[in-house]
Amino acid sequence: MAELALSDQVFTRIRGLMHESIGLDLAPHKRTLVSARLGPRIQRLGLSDFDDYLARVCSDSDGGEFQMMVDLLTTHETYFFREPKHFDVMVSELQARRPSGVRVWSAASSFGDEAYTIAMLLSELAAKRTIGAEWSVLGTDISDRVLHSAKEGIYPAERLRHVTEPRLKRFCLQGHGEAEGLVAMRPELKSRVSFGHLNLCHSVEGVGLFDIVFLRNVLIYFDGPTKSEVVDRVLGQLKPGGLFFIGSAEGRVPCSASLQSLIPGAFRKV
């Protein structure tokens, strides 16, 4: 089947729609990526071109196609215990403070690998009575598809390659037969983790206040002003003295809150 042509005009409209709705910054050089990711979808829907597809996405009865477009244009690469030094900082800080309760927010949770990683560590700390029994993890994302998967809590074993054997036995169920190669989170762990849909470019006050916030590997999708707005919005939900994490390679983002740098990508809200 012939590849569909993406005109400059329609690409500009797609860029504007994504930036206005979810803050996604599609730079001019991303045109080929947009064409490659949306082209097969357009053909699968039986539409003739990108104009027809954009009309479908922008219609009042889009049938969920806008959400599908978001999923296709954003990458959800993740795995358990990614950037482990951040989790070391979290554990070390909690061991020093010994709080009675802990609320953690995984603000761009994708498929939930990060949220369940955090839950494993908090469960271990609670078992040692380093923290109190009242702890929870909230994972939010803009993609309904990844949130549905996160709630299921079932993963290819490869995604848990950095999870130790004792943790696998304690927190996970290994698949057998047709489920060979899959790993499911145990109900006891899942009960401590909740997931919800959230657009970081809109108000986030409804999520409440947190002791620790992870906002890792999502700022790369935003332009400079949007990055600062998102970080300020998220930090507004972090308690004074709380921990804030971004991707270690994302650098320090300008924001109105005062942050103390701990290690690359890890900060304390002053």
Give the pLDDT mean for 143-153.
90
**Would you say residue 78 lies in a domain?**
no
Q: How far apart are CA 214 and CA 114, in angstroms?
A: 9
210 and 241 together in one domain: yes
Q: How much is the CA Rg of the chain, to the nearest whole Å?
A: 20
154 and 252 together in one domain: yes
pLDDT tens sequence across 8-26 = 999 999 999 999 888 888 9
Q: Has 114 been labeled as part of a binding site?
A: yes
Full-model pTM: 0.85
Q: Has 41 been labeled as part of a binding site?
A: no
Amino acid at site 26: L
- Is there a contact between 74 and 174 (Cβ–Cβ < 8 Å)? no
Cα-based torsion angle of the residue sequence 187, 193, 198, 204 in order, rounded to the nearest 10 degrees: 160
Find the CATH number of the domain harbouring 232.
3.40.50.150
Q: How many domains does the chain have?
A: 2
Q: Has 161 been labeled as part of a binding site?
A: no
Q: Has 97 been labeled as part of a binding site?
A: no
Q: Has 113 been labeled as part of a binding site?
A: no
Is the pLDDT at 263 greater than 90? The verdict is yes
Q: What's the mean pLDDT when you consider all of the chain?
A: 92
Q: Has 74 been labeled as part of a binding site?
A: no
pLDDT tens sequence across 151-192 = 999 999 999 999 999 999 999 999 888 888 999 999 999 999
Better-scored residue on pLDDT, 268 or 71:
268
Domain containing 150 equals: 84-269
For the record, the structure tokens of 24 come out as 């996604």
The last residue of a domain, from among 45, 73, 101: 73
Q: How far apart are CA 34 and CA 243, in angstroms?
A: 35
- Is there a contact between 91 and 118 (Cβ–Cβ < 8 Å)? no
Find the CATH number of the domain harbouring 36.
1.10.155.10
User: Quick one: pLDDT band at residue 132, thresholds 50, 70, 90?
Assistant: very high
The last residue of a domain, from among 73, 98, 116: 73
Q: Has 217 been labeled as part of a binding site?
A: yes
pLDDT tens sequence across 190-220 = 999 999 999 999 999 999 999 999 999 888 8
**Would you say residue 2 lies in a domain?**
no
Is the pLDDT at 81 greater than 60? The verdict is yes
User: Quick one: pLDDT band at residue 2, thresholds 50, 70, 90?
Assistant: low
Nearest to 71 by CA among 154, 145, 150, 155: 145
Catalytically active residues are 37, 141
Q: Has 82 been labeled as part of a binding site?
A: yes
Q: Is 205 exposed, middle or buried (0-12, 13-18, 19+ CB in 10 A)?
A: exposed
Tell how far CA 132 is from the center of its chain: 26
**Would you say residue 3 lies in a domain?**
no
